[in-house]
């Protein structure tokens, strides 16, 4: 099984992805590591990536997923067509549904990341929440009081993993 932890910037994809990978003893991949320097600079300036900008990035992520049987990937995967590129056999998506105010607070407190609060409106604008027909996508509702351990445990239960 491959697990893609998805959601807008600041939703906690990386933290949860690392926690899941640690609990499962699987490799962890962060989609941010696959962005070009140009893409990082573009996002750091507050300019969102276009679909054309994302295409080579998504294809690189697909290759990385395909090279591993069991892996956890943290990736925004905001649109269904992005998820379709990553949708290899055995891939499950875990959508982190986080209130916009909580995400904004997290981004304001975050240091050293190229994607800041200026990108948040475009992230929510681009977001296509999973459709009922996307049976491989599970939704994890995130609240301010949730601890990382709570989220990890609920995610493992949703995915029906030990």
Where are the alpha helices (H) located in the chain, listed in sequence order?
A: 13-24, 37-44, 51-66, 80-86, 100-109, 120-126, 148-158
Model confidence at 116, pLDDT cuts 50, 70, 90, reads low
pTM of the predicted protein model: 0.86
Determine the structural domain holding residue 69 and report its residue range.
2-158
Tally of domains in the chain: 1
CB 104 within 8 A of CB 9: no
pLDDT attached to residue 147: 87
CATH at residue 81: 3.40.50.300
Sequence-separated (6 or more) residues with CB below 8 Å from residue 64: 29, 34, 71, 73
């Amino acid at each position: 099984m491959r697990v893609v932890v998805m959601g807008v910037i600041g939703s906690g994809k990386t933290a949860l992805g690392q926690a899941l990978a640690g609990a499962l003893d699987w490799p962890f991949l962060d989609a941010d590591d696959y962005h070009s320097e140009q893409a990082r600079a573009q996002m750091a300036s507050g300019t969102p990536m276009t679909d054309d900008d994302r295409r080579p990035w998504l294809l690189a992520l697909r290759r990385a997923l395909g090279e591993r049987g069991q892996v956890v990937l943290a990736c925004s995967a905001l649109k269904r067509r992005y998820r379709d590129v990553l949708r290899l056999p055995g891939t499950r998506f875990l959508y982190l549904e986080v209130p916009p105010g909580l995400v904004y607070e997290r981004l304001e407190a975050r240091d050293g990341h190229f994607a800041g609060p200026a990108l948040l409106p475009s992230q929510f604008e681009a977001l296509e929440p999973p459709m009922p027909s996307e049976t491989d996508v599970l939704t994890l509702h995130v609240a301010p009081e949730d601890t990382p351990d709570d989220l990890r445990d609920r995610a493992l239960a949703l995915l029906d993993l030990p």
